[in-house]
């Protein structure tokens, strides 16, 4: 049987721009995947199997076993397609037709049963039974991978929710389905509904940790790293004590993410978007988030090094965990941008005291070569992350020199011109009022000239009115300015 690391699939994927992890991660696959439950287990195993050649055989075989424990035939087909391309000689590459036929029959029978029960509930006009019928349908469609019909079932359930707890259950169901769909706008919408200050959702207050985690994940997926960081660092610490192996523990959210994920996501987003003072006050001194950082001590060390201006040590820690993060379902697409923003901030802070720095010094400080640091600096300047210039002849980064004296003079001249223009407009307005040219509604006092014909009768034409205005107002302005 093939080992997977020599499969042509990975060479093609790398050429197509898909990240390939050739190094072993620091986590053990069995222990890692045991922390999750539900559909995300197959998704994560499939991602690892199609990204890490050394882990592909173990991950894909585990994904086949996991997929066959559920009722989503489409997901089993996706795993089967991947294992055929990467491990064509593996016994699992042969489709299990008996399981597929049996599962399809069970799914159809369950769908028919739920539909008949729902019709009976509707005939009896019992709102609670109808609500539970739609809830059962939504969960059934979710398990079989029909996410669109699952959302529809939960949407129809809304009209039959009679208590706040029913609304909370419905919105959490929609949040989970929307995360599986990748519909991040819907995730944010449903979280905001439960957070609405005018709604009496006492049950939602008990689940604030899950709401913050879901909102943070949606903002991360949308590329809004600063707001994502604020959501993650404010996640209630009660999720840390959740029992991940207990499906009835309401505090657990491991069908989506674990407390360790919150520490990693929140730490990286904070490093990418917050300055050192914010990192110290909002992250390291945050009592809620400290519980999560204790689960991932290397993230806490990286943030501490960044706050202490030890940028090389911070970046070295993050680089050592790059393989792990590239195998994360929600982090992989954003890791390159997050790492770039973290390095950009570090380079900015390092460069502040200097007027010029050589590429060699920067390369030594950030543990890289001159060519790579040159490319990074160019990218930063193009994206306006760094206000500096590059001397490609001498390989030097130059700070832009600001002539403070000239800038003060320019500001003073601008202020004088603004003052002159303001004074001119005020005098013009006063003279227009004195001349009776204030525009008012017909019949109201405050001006001699209104919109009726009698008011404009002294000006027999538009031209004469203009001449009168120029002559009188201009003379008044000149006399006012001389005075």
Mean pLDDT of 231-256: 79
What pLDDT is attached to residue 456?
Answer: 42
Q: What is the pLDDT of residues 248-279, one digit of tens each?
A: 566 788 899 999 999 999 999 999 999 999 99
Residue 17 in this model has a pLDDT that exceeds 80: yes
More confident call, 207 vs 23: 23
Q: What is the pLDDT of residues 310-340, one digit of tens each?
A: 988 999 999 999 999 999 999 999 999 999 9
What pLDDT is attached to residue 421?
Answer: 92
Listing from the earlier edge strand, what are the strands of the sheet with 356-358? 356-358, 396-399, 388-391
CB 19 within 8 A of CB 51: yes
| 370-402: burial string, b at 16+ Cβ within 10 Å, e else | eeebbebbeebeeeebbebebeeeebbbebeee
pTM of the predicted protein model? 0.79
What pLDDT is attached to residue 237?
Answer: 86
Residue 463 in this model has a pLDDT that exceeds 60: no
What pLDDT is attached to residue 452?
Answer: 46
Q: What is the pLDDT of residues 83-119, one digit of tens each?
A: 999 999 899 889 999 999 999 999 999 999 999 999 9
Q: What is the pLDDT of residues 349-401, one digit of tens each?
A: 888 788 888 888 888 888 788 888 888 888 888 888 788 888 888 888 888 77
- β strands within 230-359, DSSP E: 356-358
Residue 48 in this model has a pLDDT that exceeds 90: yes
pLDDT band for position 471 (50/70/90)? low
């Amino acid at each position: 049987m093939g080992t997977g690391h020599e499969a042509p699939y990975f060479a093609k994927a790398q050429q197509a721009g898909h990240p390939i992890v050739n190094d072993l991660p620091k986590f053990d696959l069995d222990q890692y995947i045991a922390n999750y439950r539900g559909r995300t287990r197959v998704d994560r195993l499939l991602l690892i199997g199609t990204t890490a050649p050394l882990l592909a055989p173990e991950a894909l075989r585990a994904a086949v076993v996991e997929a066959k424990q559920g009722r989503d035939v489409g997901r089993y087909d996706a795993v089967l397609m991947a294992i055929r391309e990467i491990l064509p000689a593996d016994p699992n590459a042969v489709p299990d037709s008996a399981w597929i036929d049996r599962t399809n029959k069970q799914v159809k029978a369950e769908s028919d049963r739920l539909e008949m029960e729902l019709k009976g509930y509707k005939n009896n006009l019992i709102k609670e039974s109808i609500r539970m019928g739609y809830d059962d349908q939504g969960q059934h469609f979710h398990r079989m991978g029909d996410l669109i019909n699952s959302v529809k079932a939960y949407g129809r359930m809304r009209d039959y929710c009679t208590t706040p707890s029913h609304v909370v259950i419905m919105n959490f169901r929609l949040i989970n389905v929307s995360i599986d769909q990748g519909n991040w706008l819907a995730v944010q919408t449903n979280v905001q509904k439960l957070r609405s200050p005018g709604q009496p959702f006492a049950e939602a207050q008990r689940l604030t940790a899950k709401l913050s985690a879901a909102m943070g994940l949606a903002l991360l997926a949308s590329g809004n790293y600063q707001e994502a960081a604020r959501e993650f660092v404010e996640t209630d610490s009660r999720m840390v004590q959740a029992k991940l192996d207990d499906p009835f523990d309401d505090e657990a959210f491991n069908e989506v993410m674990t407390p360790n994920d919150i520490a990693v996501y929140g730490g990286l987003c904070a490093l990418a978007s917050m300055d050192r003072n914010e990192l110290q006050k909002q992250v390291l001194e945050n009592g809620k988030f400290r519980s999560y950082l204790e689960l991932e001590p290397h993230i806490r060390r990286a943030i501490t090094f960044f706050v202490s201006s030890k940028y090389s040590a911070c970046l070295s820690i993050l680089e050592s965990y790059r393989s792990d993060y590239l195998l994360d379902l929600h982090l992989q697409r954003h890791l390159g941008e997050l790492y770039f923003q973290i390095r950009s901030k570090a380079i900015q802070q390092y460069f502040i005291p200097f007027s010029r720095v050589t590429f060699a010094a920067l390369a030594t400080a950030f543990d890289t070569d001159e060519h790579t640091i040159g490319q990074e600096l160019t990218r930063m300047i193009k994206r306006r992350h760094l206000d500096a210039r590059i001397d490609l002849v001498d390989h030097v980064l130059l700070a832009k020199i600001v002539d403070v004296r000239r800038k003060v003079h320019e500001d003073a001249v601008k202020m004088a011109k603004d003052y002159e223009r303001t004074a001119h407009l005020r005098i013009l307005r006063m003279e227009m009022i004195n001349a009776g040219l204030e525009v008012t509604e017909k019949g109201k006092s405050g001006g001699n000239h209104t919109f009726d014909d009698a008011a404009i009768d002294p000006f027999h034409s538009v031209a004469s009115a203009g001449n009168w205005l120029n002559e009188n107002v201009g003379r008044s302005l000149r006399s006012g300015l001389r005075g």
